[in-house]
Structure 1
Amino acid sequence: ITTSSGSEFLLQADNYHTISKWHDAIKRTTDNLSKGAAGKASDRPGIRRANSTEYLPRHGLPSKTLSLPRPAPESPCTKEPKPEHRRSHMFKSSKLNYSMSDSADKNGVKNRLKKFITRRPSMKTLQEKGIIKDQVFGCHLLALCEREGTTVPNFVRQCVEAVEKRGLEADGIYRVSGNLATIQKLRFLVDQEVEFNLDDSQWEDIHVVTGALKMFFRELPEPLFPFPFFELFVEAISEYKGQLGLLLFVISTSI
């Protein structure tokens, strides 16, 4: 806007609504000034637009003189999305595709595992086919003796014979621990029913033999002294007279 005194003002706003308010305020002010100075210097020039020779009349401003062109709305079809919006859309799309494929893979794995478990043969079937054999360590003492057809398990008998043959003079017999790796190796051979000889050089350490024997008794499902006869054994041990006879009686009744 250029005033009659030659001053120029540039009015600018970010939206059309603000410009409209400014236009209305300027129009009202110009009208009031025109009414107050109606009898003074009627030939005094009024306010004109910048870059224009057209003066605005003081007595009433037509709405078309300061009407500002309304900016044309941008078409949503021609508006190009910002790069970050495109990246966000691509990320969401790829994430959706990945989640769908991941869910399908999980369902496939779940179905395969379900079929595998349902088709798996029972323990009894595997034992009948000889795939799974009853082990010696951890087996019930009565079941092991019935399977071997003896009253004393073969492994226990072999260990006792080896100790009586070459271990009675050893220091800390049944107290000193042997090499655990060698003990586990001996246990594996016993469980797999592989023939072995405790007189071999690999079993020359008698503490390995006694360690394996202690492990056998430690892993029994039921202790060597059965639970139903626990109180009788305690009573027999607490007696000073006739202790041996009472122990023999308890053992004979428990067999």
Structure 2
Amino acid sequence: MQKSTSSDVSVEMLNSTCQGTGAVQMRMKNANSHHDRLSQSKSMIFTDAGKVTEPVSRHRRNHSQHVLKDVIPPLESFMFEKEGFLQKAKISDGGKKLRKNWTTSWVVLSSQNIEFYKDSKQQALSNTKTGQKPESIDLRGAHIEWTKDKSSRKNVFQITTISGNEFLLQSDIDFIISDWFHAIKNAIDRLSKDPSNLSRNLRLFKIQRSSSTELLSHYDSATKEQKPEHRKSLMFRLHHSASDTSDKNRVKSRLKKFITRRPSLKTLQEKGLIKDQIFGSHLHTVCERENSTVPQFVKQCIEAVEKRGLEVDGIYRVSGNLATIQKLKFIVNQEEKLNLDDSQWEDIHVVTGALKMFFRELPEPLFPYSFFEQFVEAIKRQDNNARIEAVKSLVHKLPPPNHDTMKVLFGHLTKIVAKASKNLMSTQSLGIVFGPTLLRAENETGNMAIHMVYQNQIAELMLSEYNKIFS
């Protein structure tokens, strides 16, 4: 009876003290306890908006929680922001190109990372077994952009990490992939505004670039010059130095120095650190490297087409799958052994597409820029015999790689024309396909439509009068 009276008094006192603030405070005791010291108490406050604030424990054993609250990141920073199924392909690992392989993944976006699982069950299993670490993307310092060049699929965007990893994510459903893009971009933008990430990004740049050793020495000397009395804990320096304006300016100046002192692509190629590629290199460079006057890749493509494509409808006119063509281009550029009889190159239009891409990406076309106007003047001649002799004279003046490659290519195309009844590719059709690819002006100052007519006519004449021109 005495206990109930005291509890009523305590509730009454609590109510009277809380009336002024519009709050209700409740005190709970352990009903099974015989001693007041075993009682547990919590405070629950209802604000005017009706929201419940976090219970505050005043027990001294919990005092450390409040002390570490500003040091340990809050739990919300590790919460998942988004998850679902997407198509994923990793195309680069630390700057090294990888073969593109699309897989369906359960994608989980958190505040700083993206993790990939086979499905949601694997995610739950990974959360219970700490030894299993899923493949992930660190979003700190990452870059995200839409891309159409890396895949023939629609709705593809690329994420590039600061360590040189590149991932492609895709979905056929427009609003789903758009929602993912904006969610990831927002996460990257939030991280970029965090001052503590500036110092980390600078360290990663130093580790990854061998040419930045001088930058490292400058950084170390600057660290040693600091006075002992100004050295503070790691947590304090990371939080405060990056946010200081002078430190930000120092980081920017170092990055500018690093960028301006990077060796050029030409220098790296001269030192042998980067090999010359087949696609995009000058014709004479490729021939010199192979000790030949006709690139080996051109010979391989022509051999494959003559073996299984002479009678294919629309050969050289029909486009192959762009993603497969890019895959073939990647293998050739990496100087891997190429076997065009492999099943993955079964579609002959992929082979013809790669051959056309090779000629299209030459820095200087098969008909050199210096000969363009001369060929145009030759094709303008009214007399057919005079036209043939003028073109023949120009062809024999070409450098050996241009002349021999041209002879092999047009000799192959005459075989295509010979099967025109089955492949439906006439001299005129092949002229339209190869004219602009093999012959173009260095500076398109005139009428492009007129130039295109001449380009097609020159290619047609080379085919129709092949024996006379190359005899």
TM-score bracket for the superposition, by shorter chain length: 0.5 to 0.7
Structure 1 residues 125 and 232, CA gap change in structure 2 (3 angstroms): closer
* Shift in alpha-carbon separation, 1:174–1:102, aligned structure 2, 3 A: farther
Aligned to 1:114: 256
List aligned pairs for 1:119-130, cutoff 5 A.
120-130=262-272
Match 1:250 to one of 394, 401, 407: 394
What is the match of residue 385 of structure 2? 241
Separation (CA, whole Å) in 1 of partners of 2:241 and 2:337: 56
* Map of 1:133 onto structure 2: 275
Answer yes or no: is 1:227 the counterpart of 2:369: yes
Selected match of 1:163 from 305, 309, 312: 305
Give the alignment of 1:28-47 within 5 angstroms: none
Cα deviation digits, residues 26-84 of structure 1 (max 9, x gap): xxxxxxxxxxxxxxxxxxxxxxxxxxxxxxxxxxxxxxxxxxxxxxxxxxxxxxxxxxx
Of 129-138 and 216-225, deviating more is 129-138
Q: 1:213 aligns with which of 342, 355, 365?
A: 355
Q: CA deviation at 1:177?
A: 0.3
Looking at structure 2, the residues matched to 124 and 208 of structure 1 have their Cα atoms a distance apart, in angstroms, of 31
Alignment equivalent of 2:340, drawn from 198, 202, 207: 198
In 1, the alpha carbon distance for the partners of 2:251 and 2:356 equals 45
Deviation at 1:204, TM superposition (A): 0.8
Q: 2 CA distance for matches of 1:137 and 1:102? A: 48
1:104 aligned to which of 224, 237, 246 = 246
Higher strand share: 2
CA distance in 2, matches of 1:127, 1:100: 37
State the alpha-carbon separation in 1 of the partners of residues 320 and 242 from structure 2.
57
Deviations 1:201-240 (A, max 9, x none): 0001010011011111111111111122123322333442
2:393 aligned partner, one-letter code: F
Q: Distance in 1 between matches of 2:391 and 2:312?
A: 29
Tell me by how many angstroms 1:188 deviates: 0.6
CA spacing shift, 1:243–1:160, aligned 2, 3 Å: farther
For residue 323 of structure 2, the aligned residue among 181, 187, 190 is 181
Looking at both structures, which has the greater relative contact order when contacts are Cα pairs under 8 Å and sequence separation is at least 6?
Answer: 1
The reply on whether 1:150 has 2:265 as its aligned counterpart is no
Which amino acid is the alignment partner of residue 251 of structure 1?
V
Which amino acid counterpart does residue 198 of structure 1 have in structure 2? L
Provide the secondary structure at the position in 1 that maps to 2:318: coil
Q: Distance in 2 between matches of 1:230 and 1:174?
A: 24
Q: 1:181: Cα distance to partner? A: 0.3
Q: For residues 247 and 348 of structure 2, what CA distance do their matches in structure 1 show?
A: 56
Q: Deviations over 1:112-168 (max 9, x none)?
A: 313433553443552245331111111111122112111111111111111111110
Tell me the amino acid that sits aligned with residue 208 of structure 1: V
Deviation track 1:67-102 (CA, whole Å, cap 9, x = no partner) reads xxxxxxxxxxxxxxxxxxxxxxxxxxxxxxx99934
The amino acid across from 1:211 in the alignment is: G
- SS state of the match for residue 171, structure 1? coil
Q: Is the 8 A contact 2:286 2:295 kept in 1?
A: yes
Query: CA distance change for structure 1 residues 128 and 241 in 2, over 3 Å: closer, same or farther?
Result: closer
Larger Rg: 1
Share of identical aligned residues, percent?
71
Q: How many residues align?
A: 159
SS at match of 1:209: helix
AA matched with 1:248: K
In 2 relative to 1, CA 193–101 (structure 1 residues): closer, same or farther, beyond 3 Å?
A: same
Q: RMSD between aligned alpha carbons?
A: 2.5
Unaligned 5+ segments in structure 2 are 1-239, 400-471
